[in-house]
Amino acid sequence: MPDPTGYARGVTAPRLEIDALLADPATKIVVCCGSGGVGKTTTAAALGLRAAEVHGRRTVVLTIDPARRLAQSMGLTELDNTPRQVKGIDTEATGGELHAMMLDMKRTFDEVVQAHTTPERAAEIFANPFYQAMSSTFAGTQEYMAMEKLGQLRSRDEWDLIVVDTPPSRSALDFLDAPARLSRFLDGRMLRMLLAPARSGGRSMFSLVTASFGLFSRSVQKILGAQLLTDLSGFVAALDSMFGGFRQRADETYRILQDPQTSFLIVAAPERDAVREAAYFAERLVAERMPLAGLVLNRVHRSEVESLTAERTEVAAAALEAAGDHSVTADALRVHAGLIRLIEREVRVAGTFAESFPAVPTVSVTAQPADVHDVDGLRMIGAALS
Amino acid sequence: MANNERTGRWPARLHVVTGKGGTGKTSVAAALALGLAESGRRTLLVEVEGRQGIAQLFDTEPLPYSELRIAAVPGGGEVRALAVDPEEALLEYLEMFYRLGAAGRALRKVGAIDFATTIAPGLRDVLLTGKVKEATTRSREGRRTYDAVVLDAPPTGRIGRFLNVTAETARLAKMGPIKTQSEGVASLLRSPITAVHVVTLLEEMPVQETIDAITELESLDIPVGRIVINGARPPLLTSGKVTKTELKRGLTAAGLPADPATVTGLQAEAKAHLTRRELEESLRSELVELRRPMLELPLLPGGVDRAGLDQLADRLMRV
């Protein structure tokens, strides 16, 4: 099979040693990131299962939006925002445990509020339409709450290993940016100026800015209505009183992510968009000095009959068809030709990542004919990863 | 127009294309824009998520916030493309209603525009869909600017919220021009001018999300158009049984190696194919139960380039 980069066989990229990573007691957090639809959640679940079964670690998997059947396979029938032990797995020999939880974004936000204020104040905040909108739809709330939950799990110090599945963001990078964006919003100068234009006015050198701001706030009033500004102001005042800086929390999360006890795994499939996102993400992790452990390339196709090229197979299939014999073999040959062409394309696409990041360790997982949604399937994926 | 018959099978004027990430919705949207531009028509292909997916697909520079010609179509038609940026849309909107001028630019400098579009996600969506509405209904000297507008929309998981603009803004803005604006958008999106097409692969998650999205859109009274099955493979091995004996004979007849390793390898590939196809069949029947018009687009072996898009466009126009 043509393999110009040697990528498919791991010739260029060093092999990612998943077992060494999972077994190392110094590995406390594994973050699986990558674009949507590449099997991130499945990878996270398979890693968690392997860490518990094979390496005897007390593991929790934090999933964001699992497929229904995958969630059921782990016993996650409801979204209750607390880790539940996964039953029916084989940890007798090692003494490990696997727990899993699904993130409930709104509930996590509610918990943060409740933990930091009086019940009366909390009730007031929950009733605020701004809070309602923001806790369920703010661009980035899901990412922020995933990080918040990670911080909570980490601080309880009851887990050997936390495996995190990241939200299905528009772009994989949202995951890194959202907490900072949310905190910037919540304790931002912008908001203070908007809410207290009188205070920030006067003979400030920013008079143009301030003037625009008065105009801005009037425009917002005109467009959205005064009620909204009142609600917003109430919301911010309430939050302000209790948080002592969202930014500080975001910074803490950021430090957890930069800690050498954390490992980032980029998950991708050998498709153009997914590999492009993976490359952006790798670039970003390197720039932010986040510990990038490697690339997991899911759904890679393989053939045991690589020596039979697509062209030769297609010619043979056409000849058999023309002769009117052996239609089953002709079809089997067409299946093979299609597979070889697919492999060629995958190698080409995946090679673009290896060219840019030759030092990033990589492991590829062979495509399964059917989707994985039981513990046996996860175990198989775990074995394929290592 | 000679080919009216073909484009006439896509009667809506605003085609919203959604689908789970990775199903190829951007390619399908682009192919639809190309197809609907035949016979000298003009279409607009719009993206709203800042991904620059259209530019990548057509291998051009990132799109600015203006409607640029991105492809010429035989017969004198053309496709223009627009990447809607919520900040630009808000500035344009403020300009239209409030004549902000330099103050608008100052607002942007201090980050106020980013701020305003971030605090209220509903506002952001109203601005994006509002721009799409404006392009769809725009006309000059009594002639419509675009014969059709194709929107590469957010994925299935967010499409309901994205298109249900009134509900989102009603929570925040009880009156004022934003409310009026969102009501205008909402009525366009619920009229026969609009059709939401859902792109899927014959894989479990995309099919599940297709079903969920269509159920959601129906409950919102937003017109659902076609289900597009992308990457469909030709039916092979319909007899369903592949024996080693047959393979050995067939390979020998074709003059190919027929050693045990080759035979075993090919048999395993055939079996994997059959397993896959069985799953695909059951997923296809789940889609049939939705009782929506369906069409299948072939997997492009060479990847998606302009020739591939033209091939998909032709297939789309032959429904």
- Rounded to an integer, the average pLDDT of B5-20 is 93
CB of B235 within 8 Å of a chain A CB? The answer is no
**CB pair distance less than 8 Å for A188 and B115:** yes
Q: Residue B122: pLDDT above 70?
A: no
Distance CA B28, CA B30 (A): 5
Q: From B267, which residue of chain A is nearest by alpha-carbon distance?
A: A332
Write down all domains in chain A, each with its CATH number in brackets.
7-176+250-306+358-385 (3.40.50.300), 188-243 (no CATH)
Q: Answer whether residue B259 is part of any domain.
A: no
Range in A78-82, A167-171, A211-215, A304-308 with the lowest mean pLDDT:
A211-215
Smallest CA–CA distance, residue A59 to chain B, in Å, is 26
- Residue A116 pLDDT class (50, 70, 90 cuts): confident
Nearest-by-Cβ selection for A170 from B51, B253, B275:
B51
Q: How far is B8 from chain A (nearest CA, A)?
A: 33
Looking at chain A, the whole-number percentage of residues with pLDDT higher than 90 is 42
Per-residue pLDDT band at A29 (split at 50, 70, 90): very high
pLDDT for the residue numbered A3: 41
Split into its structural domains, chain B has a count of 1
Tell whether B108 is covered by a domain.
yes
Judge whether B261 lies within some domain: no
A293 band by pLDDT with thresholds 50, 70 and 90: very high
Question: What interface predicted TM-score (ipTM) does this complex get?
Answer: 0.80
Q: For residue B155, give the 3-state DSSP assignment.
A: coil
- Whether the pLDDT of residue B58 is over 60: the answer is yes
- Answer yes or no: are the C-beta atoms of A370 and B280 closer than 8 Å: no
Does residue B271 fall inside a structural domain?
no
Nearest Cβ partner for B236 among A38, A216, A331: A331
Q: What is residue A74's predicted lDDT score, i.e. its pLDDT?
A: 79
A23 against B305, higher pLDDT: A23
What is residue A373's predicted lDDT score, i.e. its pLDDT?
Answer: 79
* Average pLDDT for B121-143: 86
Q: Do A323 and B253 touch (CB under 8 A)?
A: yes
Q: Which residues of A touch B249 (CB under 8 A)?
A: 326, 329
Q: Do A371 and B203 touch (CB under 8 A)?
A: yes
User: B204, B207, B230, B278: best mutation site toward chain A, by most A Cβ within 10 Å?
Assistant: B204
Instruction: With a cut of 90, say whether residue B93 has pLDDT above it.
Output: no
Question: B269 vs A303: CB contact, 8 Å cut-off?
Answer: yes
Whether B309 maps to a domain, the answer reads: yes
**CA dihedral sign, ordered A168, A174, A175, A180:** negative
CATH number for the domain harbouring residue B176: 3.40.50.300
Q: What is the per-residue pLDDT across A172-198, written as a single tens digit (0 to 9) for each?
A: 566 677 666 666 666 555 555 555 543
B96 interfaces chain A, CB cutoff of 8 Å? no
**pLDDT tops 80 at residue A107:** yes
Average pLDDT taken over every residue of chain A: 81
| Containing structural domain, residue B101 | 4-233+291-317
Residue numbers in A near B171 (CB within 8 A): 129, 132-133
Banded model confidence at residue A317, pLDDT cuts 50, 70, 90: very high
Task: Give the mean model confidence (pLDDT) for residues B218-243.
Answer: 92
Contacts of A184 in chain B (CB under 8 A): none
Q: Per mean pLDDT, which range of A3-17, B125-139, B289-303 is the poorest?
A: A3-17
Q: Domain for residue B311, yes or no?
A: yes
Higher-pLDDT residue of A66 and B168 is A66
The C-alpha of A168 sits at a distance from chain B's nearest C-alpha, in angstroms, of 9
The pLDDT value given to residue B159: 92
Q: Does B161 touch chain A (CB under 8 A)?
A: yes
Question: Is B275 contained in some domain?
Answer: no
How confident is the prediction for chain B on average, in pLDDT?
Answer: 88
Hey, of B118, B243, B244, which one would you mutate to test binding to chain A, going by the most A CBs within 10 A of its CB?
Answer: B118
* Mean local confidence (pLDDT), B85-109: 69
Q: Is the confidence at residue B142, as pLDDT, over 60?
A: yes
Predicted local confidence at residue A121, as pLDDT: 83
What confidence score (pLDDT) does residue B175 get?
60
Task: Give the model's pLDDT for residue A169.
Answer: 65
Using the Cβ of B100 and the Cβ atoms of chain A, whether some distance falls under 8 Å is answered with yes
* Residue B291 banded pLDDT, cuts 50, 70, 90: very high
Indicate whether B252 belongs to any domain: no
